[in-house]
Amino acid sequence: MKELKDMLAVYEYPLYSKEDSQEEEGEEQVKKRGRYVIWQDFCEKNGLGDIYHDVKFEDMKQSDQKKAFLLKFAQNPGGIVIMRGNPGTGKTFSSIAVCEMYTREKNYCMFVSQRKIFNKWLDYTRGEGSNNWLHHLECCELLVIDDFGTSEPSPGFMGFFMDLINSRMQWKQRGTIISTNLTDEKMNQFCGDALNDRLSTGQVLLFTGKSRRKPVIS
């Protein structure tokens, strides 16, 4: 089996900024410059702001085994990955890092929180928004759903969410990452038996250790 550093060696090229890009650039030119999608643009379009502009997959502080698994997933998304652990253990950073790796060579990726999905779904049910955004959730090759289980959803939304997961599971090349603070038991309570059964078919990655968030100053 290849060492992780050897697997990552092919990706040792620098990021480039928005100032370096050109609107009329062709696909081959973009690939030669090192990225399919400008990472800073991805962050801003997906509501991540600028605090993640410098994120690189190689900077993920997780075990080599976990990084090797996520590298393969980024290269060929498929199925479901559940990132489970306490707040501050690196779930969000790791899922963003997967997006960074994926967008070096491909562009059909979305990063979104459960709350944002709920708000978009609610707008659509009220006739206040288009279903185009929701359609992209279903069809994008890599979908990251962050902070799943942090707010109490309605039965209608959970029905929509189950349809979304069912639809994505029917395609081999549609991968879904779900990060959550919920334990296995609380996940079942939150989702209900049917949805939890679907999600349990995925690969669970446990995130443990002390919180990496800044300590409270008293």
Predicted local confidence at residue 3, as pLDDT: 59
Output the CA–CA distances (angstroms, integers) from residue 191 to 36, 47, 96, 148, 201, in the order listed.
36, 26, 24, 10, 14
The whole-number average pLDDT for the span 60-71 is: 96
- pLDDT band, residue 44 (cuts 50/70/90): very high
Q: 83, 207 in Cβ contact below 8 A?
A: yes
What pLDDT, on a 0 to 100 scale, did the predictor assign at position 209?
Answer: 85
Task: Look at residue 16 in the predicted model and tell me its pLDDT.
Answer: 39
- pLDDT at position 32, please? 53
Q: What residue ranges do the domains of the chain occupy?
A: 31-207
- Average pLDDT of the residues of the chain: 87
For the chain, the first-to-last Cα distance in angstroms comes to: 49
pLDDT classification of 34: cutoffs 50, 70, 90 = confident
What integer pLDDT is reported at residue 211 of this predicted model?
Answer: 79
d(CA 27, CA 172): 25
Q: d(Cα 85, Cα 7) in Å, to the nearest integer?
A: 27
* pTM metric for this prediction: 0.84
Question: How many angstroms separate the CA atoms of 104 and 75, rounded?
Answer: 10
Model confidence pLDDT, tens digit, residues 84-138: 999 999 999 999 999 999 999 999 999 999 999 999 999 999 998 888 899 999 9
**Rg of the chain in Å (alpha carbons):** 18
Name the architecture of domain 31-207.
3-Layer(aba) Sandwich (3.40)
